[in-house]
């Protein structure tokens, strides 16, 4: 699915990014990113809940709990997951090498990796590339970093927003990578967001978790949760605005801006889903609660039969009806359920809608973007998720991933 590959991202005061090539990517492009947090910054993060979480996830969580971070180090081309104790040692060695080069404690470095699972991390190559990444540190390094963290992504992903608060312009900028193995369980793949607002660590964590719940936790490309998922939010305080407190209007405004950036990044991941040709919103309305709305939405979004019908542009509405029916909603009255493709009602009164025509359904399915809307008629809750189709190219990309 085509996207605009150009990124025009606003710098965040005090936050610097530098890239280098450690030779982990087959094409020789930059694959190492160092991010520098200015003194006095706060940092929040969420990580994958996959039991086989990668070594850098374990080390990053431990380091974040120990001290306030000064640097983030990210490599693409190798996930350092499923690598046991040698993988843990490799992640720590990367932290120690960056710390030694910058005069910081190793615990003040958070490591992140993405790429092939089960292969040893080439620590020596990463350490050798660190001086170049440090030399390249700049507040305008966002676009280069977005490219360096890519794996099967076809385009770099970034978003930026500003909000005016008490005479100060506050910036929120973020980048993300991800195209396959996308079904987040607290975050998705890798995402890094920074703001020049001043926010204490506890409030920042609250802000991030709320934003992630409404963005990265609402997407699915293939239903797989990665071993390496992580999302980091940094507040540098460089805007000059006083420290924000939870519950006040300025804090809420910054959190809304962070959420907007996360939503844009999450939707960009779906648009760049491996082999994707369609961007699909699955909206479930009038549910008894948010959980059952999401239960129905994800059953549709994960269905290979629905996703392949979307790829074919086939208005095979029976597949959507079947997905709703098997979502596990207790005592669902199917006579009350309505299912729509954009403006076209396809199911009503427990059967194909009386006024539905194949031609009307086909018009919607021919679109690059469409909404599958389900009305449960059980309450006032509503939720939506974003997904894509499942194409021949998805199979090809993942069948040939290591070749």
CA-closest candidate to residue 144, choices 47, 34, 252, 70: 34
End-to-end CA distance of the chain, in Å?
23
| Residue 288 CB coordination number (10 Å) | 16
For the chain, the C-alpha Rg in angstroms (whole number) is 22
Query: How far apart are alpha carbons 318 and 240 in whole angstroms?
Result: 57
Query: How far apart are alpha carbons 399 and 403 in whole angstroms?
Result: 9
Query: Is the Cβ–Cβ distance between 145 and 175 less than 8 Å?
Result: yes
Query: How far apart are alpha carbons 93 and 87 in whole angstroms?
Result: 10
Q: Which residues pair with 383 in a beta bridge?
A: 284
Query: How far apart are alpha carbons 157 and 7 in whole angstroms?
Result: 8
3-state secondary structure of 66: helix
Q: Which residues pair with 253 in a beta bridge?
A: none
Burial degree of 387 (CB within 10 A; 0-12, 13-18, 19+): buried
Helices (H) and strands (E) counted in the chain, each on its own, are 11, 16
Query: Can 154 be counted among the known catalytic residues?
Result: no
Query: How far apart are alpha carbons 215 and 231 in whole angstroms?
Result: 11
CA-closest candidate to residue 313, choices 363, 255, 369, 366: 366
Q: What share of the chain is helix, strand, coil (3-state, %, to 5)?
A: 35, 25, 40
Q: Which of 160, 171, 188, 236 is catalytic?
A: 188
Phi, psi of 299 (to 5 degrees): -60, -40
CA-closest candidate to residue 223, choices 181, 269, 283, 277: 181
Query: How far apart are alpha carbons 121 and 90 in whole angstroms?
Result: 6
Query: How far apart are alpha carbons 220 and 300 in whole angstroms?
Result: 10
Query: Is the Cβ–Cβ distance between 165 and 1 less than 8 Å?
Result: no
Give catalytic residue positions: 188
């Amino acid at each position: 699915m085509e996207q605009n590959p150009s990124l025009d991202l606003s710098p965040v005061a005090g936050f610097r990014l530098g890239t280098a090539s450690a030779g982990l990517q087959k094409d020789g492009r930059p694959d190492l990113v160092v991010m520098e947090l200015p003194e006095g910054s706060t940092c929040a993060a969420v990580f994958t809940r996959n039991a086989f979480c990668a070594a850098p996830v374990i080390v990053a969580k431990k380091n974040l709990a120990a001290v306030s971070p000064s640097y983030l180090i990210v490599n693409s081309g190798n996930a350092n997951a499923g690598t046991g104790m040698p993988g843990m040692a490799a992640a720590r060695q990367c932290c120690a090498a960056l710390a030694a080069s910058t005069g910081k404690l190793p615990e003040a470095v958070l490591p992140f990796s993405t790429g092939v699972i089960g292969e040893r991390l080439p620590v020596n190559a990463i350490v050798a590339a660190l001086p170049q990444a440090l030399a390249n540190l700049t507040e305008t390094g966002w676009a280069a970093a977005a490219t360096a963290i890519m794996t099967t992504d076809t385009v770099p992903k970034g978003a930026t927003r500003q909000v005016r608060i008490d005479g100060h312009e506050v910036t929120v900028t973020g980048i993300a990578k991800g195209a396959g193995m996308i079904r987040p369980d607290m975050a998705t793949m890798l995402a890094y967001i920074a703001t020049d607002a001043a926010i204490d660590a506890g409030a920042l964590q609250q802000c991030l978790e709320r934003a992630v719940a409404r963005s990265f936790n609402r997407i699915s490309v293939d239903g797989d949760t990665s071993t390496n998922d992580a999302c980091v939010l940094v507040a540098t305080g460089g805007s000059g605005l006083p420290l924000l407190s939870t519950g006040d209007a300025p804090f809420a405004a910054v959190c809304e801006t962070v959420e907007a950036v996360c939503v844009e990044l999450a939707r960009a991941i779906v648009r760049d889903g491996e082999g994707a040709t369609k961007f699909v919103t699955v909206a479930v309305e009038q549910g008894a609660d948010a959980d059952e709305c999401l239960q129905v939405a994800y059953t549709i979004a994960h269905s290979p039969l629905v996703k392949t019908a979307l790829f074919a542009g086939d208005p095979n509405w029976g597949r959507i009806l079947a997905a709703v029916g098997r979502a596990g909603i207790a005592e669902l009255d199917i006579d009350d359920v309505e299912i729509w493709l954009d403006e076209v009602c396809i199911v009503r009164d427990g059967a194909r809608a009386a006024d539905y025509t194949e031609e009307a359904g086909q018009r919607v399915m021919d679109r690059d973007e469409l909404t599958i809307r389900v009305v449960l008629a059980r309450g006032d809750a509503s939720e939506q998720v974003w997904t894509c189709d499942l194409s021949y190219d998805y199979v090809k990309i993942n069948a040939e991933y290591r070749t």
